[in-house]
Amino acid sequence: MRPASGYFFEDYAVGQRFDHAVPRTLTQGDVALYQALVGSRNPLHCSEPFAQSIGYPAMPVDDLLVFHIAFGKTVPDISYNAVANLGYAECRFVQPVYIGDTLHASTEIVGLKATSSGKTGVVYVRSSCFNQRDELVLTWVRWVMIHRRDTKATNIDLKPYGLVDFAAAVTPNAIAAPRGAWATPACAQATGSKKSWDDIEAPDADHSFANATVTTSAVSPILHAGGLTIDNTDHTLATKLYQNTARVHFDAHHMKDSRFAQRLVYGGHIISLCRALSFDGLENALTIAAINSGSHLNPTFAGDTIYAMSVPLMKWAVSDSVGALRLQLHGYKNADPNSPTFVGTSPEQHVLSLDLTVLMPRRKP
């Protein structure tokens, strides 16, 4: 049984599996609140007729709302005593989730590596989220720095156990086309932009895809207009909606004595804000197929304003009507990529770097 104070590094073993508690039925309320919290405007998630016009039976729930709910389920067992969420990999959005679906999640410990400080260790986990028919809807890997219970341990074994290295990206053959046909005229009217997959300037994906070094110097970044300022209630409402219990987000009294002296914003909230901001410039990036890799580069706090910029990495056709675009989504705090003074921005203002694969409608052939 889970200890009241959560698990520490020493409690984990490779191969260990957790079936997380608190299944969660998604409702119209979750969808509206998510939209109000992050400012999303993707019509796929807010217009039933549009969703149906491109082949969905109903409005699917925003991919990232599903991610956050699934992630929240894992927190009590995996990251309750986390120092930091170090990275993500191999995240695939396998099938849509609809209002009325009930999600549950499980996690397997796939790797472990102590740190030389003797105070922490890194736990590598694969989590999966299922609907009420036990169909996989989402799977991802993350690695987390966790406190040791015994912080005075000596002679630390620094050898890695299990898997501690992951694919650089989800490969094209692992990404399926959504059902239905993404008719471009319907998309352009609903999203407000005719910029289809064909119009995005990016190198074609090739056979060496998965481990290729991505060269982006030849590609112009897409600067997303607008910025969103975070207040304390925004991020705490979001995180409570996801039933994420990580103490650092909620407990200002406790955090007063931390090195930040205040509550930390949940990193996933920043991902959602950047994704929402990216609608201006990538209006037709209707779904996220994969998060290839990513990390939170700096913490954010209430009062920070978030801006976003996307760098196209590569693209490939998925079906006659759908194309995939792999891109690097960058988030900045209090520094607007649209501003002429942006180049001189300090590295501390770079808060997110996320390698995503999104799906877009193709231009009529």
Residues 279-318 that bind its own copies (CB under 8 A): 280-281, 283, 303, 305
Question: Distance between terminal CA atoms of the chain?
Answer: 58
Q: What percentage of the chain's residues is helix, strand, coil (to nearest 5)? A: 25, 30, 45
Q: Residue 192 CB, nearest distance to its own copies (Å)?
A: 3
CA angle 169, 165, 346 (to 5 degrees): 70
- Contact at 8 Å (CB) between 242 and 257? no
**What is the smallest separation between the CB atom of 52 and its own copies, expressed in angstroms?**
10
Residue 28 C-beta: closest distance to its own copies, Å: 4
Cα distance between residue 122 and residue 195, in whole Å: 42
Compute the CA torsion angle 333, 338, 344, 348 (nearest 10 deg): 10
Query: How far apart (Å, rounded) are the C-alpha atoms in residues 66 and 265?
Result: 19
Binding mask 31-60 for its own copies (x = CB under 8 A): xxx-xxxxx-x-x--xxxxx--------x-
CB 310 within 8 A of CB 113: no
Q: Which of residues 208-237 bind its own copies (CB under 8 A)?
A: 223, 225-229, 231-234, 236-237
Find the shortest distance in angstroms from Cβ 127 to its own copies: 15
324 in Cβ contact with 308 (< 8 Å):
no
Q: Per rule CB under 8 A, is residue 62 in the interface with its own copies?
A: no
Give 77 or 355: the residue with its C-beta nearer to its own copies.
77
- 333 in helix, strand or coil? strand
Contacts of its own copies in 238-277 (CB under 8 A): 238, 240-241, 243, 245, 247, 250-254, 263
The distance of closest approach from Cβ of residue 4 to its own copies in the complex, given in angstroms and rounded to an integer, is 6
Residues 99-158 that bind its own copies (CB under 8 A): 100, 102, 132
Q: Which is nearer to its own copies, 186 or 317 (CB)?
A: 186
Q: How many residues bind its own copies (CB under 8 A)?
A: 74
